[in-house]
C-alpha cells in the first residue's frame, strides 16, 4: 500500500452488510465502493479472523466507543495492520441498527486513551455535555448530557460536524482564535463562552472546552468537546440585573426628593439660633448623597457584570473632566495638587488651570466616575495631601492618584479591586466595597489597565492608563 491516505470510514447494517464505503478506504483496502456495498464486512477478514471481527461488532453493542488493533486483507491480498473504531447507532428502543467504523492504517497505530474503559465510564455518566470527533471533525460519539442540551438523538449527530450547532453569534474571528489555540502544540485546547444553536433553533449559552487528544507521538487523533450549559446562569443574571434596576430606580426617586428638599431647607435656615438644626440637616443631606452614590455603584456593578455596560465615547477635555470630578472636594481641608498646581484646601477649584487643552476619546461620564472614585478613596485615606498626575502620550492617557496616608498592606493591595473587598479603615467608614471594583470595570471597558502601588507607610498610589 503506497498511498499516503491513512484513514477512512464505512457504515454497516446491524447484520454486518456494508452500506457506505468511504473514499479513503478505496486507497487503504484497494476496493471501489461499487465492489463492496451490499457485501458482508467479512470480505475484509483474513482467514481465521472472521469470528474475531464478528465478535468486535457484538462487543460494540455494549459500549459507545470501542477500538481495536486487528488485521484486514486488501483487494490485492496484502494483509495490513489497522486500528478500527466501532461506533454503534441505536434506535429509540436501544437496539443497534447500524455501525460506523473508522479504520486507520498506520504502522505505529495504538489505541488512544480517549477510548479507554476508564474514559468511557466517565464520558457516559458525566453531567456536562461531551462529544468526541475524529481528527477531521466528524462526531463519533456524544453522551446523553450533550444530546439533552441540544435536543438531538445520537444517530442525528454521529458523522456530522459540530458546525450543526453554529449560531449567528459565532464569528469567523471566534473560530480562528479557537482553532489557533487548539492546534497550538504548546497549548492544545480552547476554553470560552459561546452561544450555540439547539436542534429546535433555540440559543444555548455554553461554557465550552475543546481539547486536542494526541497519541504517544504527538499526533492529533481526536477532539474532545465538553459543554457546560449556561442557560440557567444567564437567566439568573438577567433576572438579577432586572431586579437591581428596579430597586435602584425606586430608590432614586425618594433620594432625589430628600436631597433636593434638604438643600432648600439648608439654604433657608439663616437664623443663628437654628445652627444645631442646620447641622443635623447637613448630616441628613450627607447620608442621602452617600446612599445615592451607593445606588449608582450597585447599578454600575450590575451592568458591568452582566456585560450590558455601554460606552458612549466622544472627544473630551481631560482637564475639565478632572475639574468636574474634583468639584465635591474643593471645600476639603486637605490639599489637592494636580500636575503640580494646588487645587484643594481652602482654595476654589480653578478652571483656568484645569482647562489645559489635553483631549482624548472616552466616555465622559465613565471617565469622570473613575477619577471621582479614585479621588474619593484618596481623600478618605490622606493625612493632608492628595496628588494627581496625568499625561497624554502617543499610546494613551496615564493617570495616577496618590495620598500621604499610611498606605496599604501587601494583602490589601492584592485584593483591593475585588468586589466587596474592604480594608479595615473602609469597613469603619461604612463603604460598600464597590467603588474600586467599578473603577476597574470602567477602565477595562475602555481597553485600559489599572494598578496600585501600596506604598506602605508612605501613602498609596492608584494608577490607570487608557489607550487613545
* Vertex 238 angle, CA 235 and 244, to 5°: 140
Residue 1 pLDDT more than 60? Answer: no
Of 83-97, 140-154, 342-356, the range with the lowest mean pLDDT is 342-356
Same fold, 1-110 and 112-229: yes
Mean per-residue pLDDT for 120-139?
Answer: 82
CATH of 230-309, one of 3.30.160, 1.10.10, 1.10.287, 3.40.50: 1.10.287
Instruction: Write the CB contacts of 370 (distance below 8 Å, at least 6 apart in sequence).
Output: 439, 442, 443, 464
Q: Please determine, for residue 468, whether its predicted confidence score (pLDDT) is greater than 90.
A: no
**Three-state SS at 323:** helix
Select from 380, 398, 396 the least CA-distant residue to 388: 398
Task: For residues 437-462, give the mean pLDDT.
Answer: 88
C-alpha 449: how far from its chain's center?
Answer: 18
pLDDT tens track for 220-230:
888 889 888 88
- Per the CB < 8 A criterion, the answer to whether 17 and 98 are in contact is no
Average pLDDT for 99-125: 65
From the number of C-beta atoms within 10 Å of its C-beta (0-12, 13-18, 19+), residue 70 rates as: middle
pLDDT score of 104? 80
Q: Give the pLDDT score at 237.
A: 72
Instruction: Pull the grid cell for residue 96.
Output: 443497534
Mean of per-residue pLDDT scores for the chain: 82
- Cβ-contact 136, 160 below 8 angstroms: no
CATH superfamily of the 112-229 domain: PAS domain (3.30.450.20)
pLDDT in tens, 7-21: 788 888 888 899 988
Band of pLDDT at residue 430, cut at 50, 70 and 90: low
Task: Please state, as a whole number, how many other Cβ atoms lie within 10 Å of the Cβ of residue 172.
Answer: 7
The pLDDT of 27-52, averaged and rounded, is: 91
pLDDT value of residue 164: 93
Confidence of residue 432 (pLDDT cuts 50, 70, 90): low
Q: Is the pLDDT reported for residue 243 higher than 80?
A: no
The secondary structure of 69-130 as a DSSP string is EEEEE-TTS-EEEEEEEEEEEE-TTS-EEEEEEEEE--TT----GGGSHHHHHHHHH-SSEE
Longest dimension (CA), the chain: 116
Question: Domain residues of the chain, as ranges?
Answer: 1-110, 112-229, 230-309, 311-468
Q: How many CB atoms lie within 10 A of CB 263?
A: 14
DSSP class per residue in 142-204: E-HHHHHHHT--HHHHTTS-GGGG--TT--HHHHHHHHHHHH-TTT-EEEEEEEEE-TTS-EE
Helix (H, G, I), strand (E, B) or coil at 392: strand
Query: In CATH, what class is 1-110?
Result: alpha beta
For the cut 70, the answer to whether the pLDDT of residue 2 exceeds it is: no
- What are the pLDDT digits (tens) for 161-214? 999 999 999 888 888 999 999 898 888 889 888 999 999 999 999 889 898 887
The DSSP letter of residue 237 is H
Percent of the chain with pLDDT over 90: 22
Query: pLDDT confidence of 426, banded at 50, 70, 90?
Result: low
Per-residue pLDDT of 277-319, as tens digits, reads: 888 888 888 788 778 777 877 777 777 776 677 888 999 998 8
225: enclosing H helix or E strand: strand 220-229
Assess whether pLDDT exceeds 90 at residue 151.
yes
CATH architecture of 311-468: 2-Layer Sandwich (3.30)
**pLDDT tens digits, one per residue of 310-358:** 888 999 998 888 888 888 887 788 889 888 878 754 444 444 444 456 8
Query: pTM, whole model, 2 decimals?
Result: 0.48
- Among candidates 66, 72, 133, which has minimal Cα distance to 105? 72
Per-residue pLDDT averaged across 367-394, rounded? 89
Position 66 confidence tier, pLDDT thresholds 50, 70, 90: low
Check whether 71 has a pLDDT greater than 60: yes
Cα 141 to Cα 39: distance, rounded to the nearest angstrom: 26
Q: What is the model's pLDDT at position 348?
A: 45
Amino acid at each position: 500500500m503506497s498511498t499516503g491516505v491513512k484513514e477512512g470510514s464505512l457504515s454497516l447494517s446491524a447484520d454486518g452488510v456494508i452500506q457506505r464505503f468511504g473514499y479513503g478506504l478505496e486507497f487503504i483496502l484497494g476496493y471501489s465502493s461499487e465492489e463492496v456495498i451490499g457485501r458482508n464486512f467479512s470480505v475484509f477478514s483474513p482467514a481465521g479472523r472472521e469470528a474475531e471481527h464478528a465478535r468486535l461488532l457484538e462487543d460494540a453493542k455494549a459500549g459507545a466507543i470501542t477500538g481495536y488493533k486487528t488485521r484486514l486483507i486488501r483487494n490485492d491480498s496484502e494483509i495490513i495492520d489497522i486500528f478500527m473504531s466501532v461506533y454503534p447507532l441505536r434506535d429509540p428502543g436501544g437496539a443497534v441498527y447500524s455501525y460506523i467504523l473508522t479504520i486507520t492504517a498506520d504502522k505505529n497505530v495504538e489505541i488512544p486513551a480517549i477510548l479507554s474503559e476508564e474514559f468511557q465510564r466517565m464520558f457516559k455518566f458525566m453531567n456536562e455535555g461531551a462529544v468526541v470527533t475524529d481528527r477531521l471533525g466528524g462526531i463519533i460519539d456524544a453522551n446523553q448530557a450533550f444530546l439533552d442540551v441540544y435536543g438531538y438523538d445520537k444517530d442525528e449527530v454521529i458523522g456530522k460536524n459540530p458546525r450543526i450547532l453554529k449560531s449567528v453569534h459565532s464569528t469567523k474571528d471566534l473560530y480562528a482564535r479557537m482553532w489557533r489555540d487548539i492546534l497550538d502544540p504548546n497549548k492544545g485546547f480552547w476554553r470560552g463562552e459561546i452561544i450555540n444553536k439547539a436542534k429546535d433553533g433555540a440559543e444555548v449559552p455554553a461554557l465550552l472546552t475543546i481539547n486536542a487528544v494526541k497519541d504517544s507521538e504527538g499526533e492529533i487523533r481526536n477532539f474532545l468537546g465538553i459543554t457546560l450549559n449556561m442557560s440557567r446562569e444567564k437567566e439568573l443574571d438577567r433576572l438579577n440585573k432586572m431586579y437591581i434596576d428596579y430597586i435602584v430606580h425606586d430608590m432614586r426617586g425618594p433620594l432625589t426628593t430628600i436631597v433636593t428638599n434638604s438643600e432648600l431647607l439648608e439654604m433657608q435656615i439663616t437664623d443663628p439660633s437654628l445652627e444645631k438644626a442646620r447641622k443635623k440637616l447637613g448630616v441628613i443631606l450627607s447620608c442621602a448623597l452617600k446612599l445615592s452614590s451607593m445606588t449608582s455603584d450597585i447599578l454600575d456593578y450590575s451592568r458591568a457584570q452582566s456585560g450590558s455596560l455601554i460606552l458612549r465615547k466622544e472627544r473630551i477635555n481631560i482637564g475639565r473632566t478632572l475639574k468636574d470630578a474634583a468639584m465635591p472636594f474643593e471645600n476639603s481641608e486637605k490639599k489637592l495638587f494636580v500636575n503640580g498646581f494646588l487645587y484643594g484646601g481652602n482654595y476654589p477649584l480653578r478652571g483656568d488651570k484645569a482647562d489645559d487643552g489635553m483631549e482624548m476619546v472616552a466616555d465622559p461620564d465613565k471617565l469622570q466616575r473613575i477619577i471621582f472614585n479614585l479621588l474619593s478613596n484618596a481623600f478618605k485615606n490622606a493625612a493632608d495631601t492628595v496628588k494627581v498626575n496625568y499625561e497624554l502620550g502617543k499610546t494613551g492617557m496615564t493617570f495616577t492618584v496618590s495620598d500621604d496616608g499610611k498606605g496599604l498592606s501587601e494583602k490589601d493591595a492584592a485584593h483591593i479591586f475585588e468586589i466587596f473587598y474592604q480594608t479595615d479603615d473602609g469597613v469603619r467608614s461604612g463603604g460598600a466595597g464597590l467603588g474600586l471594583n467599578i473603577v476597574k470595570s470602567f477602565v477595562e471597558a475602555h481597553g485600559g489597565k489599572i494598578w496600585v502601588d501600596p506604598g506602605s507607610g508612605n501613602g498609596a498610589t492608584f494608577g490607570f492608563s487608557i489607550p487613545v
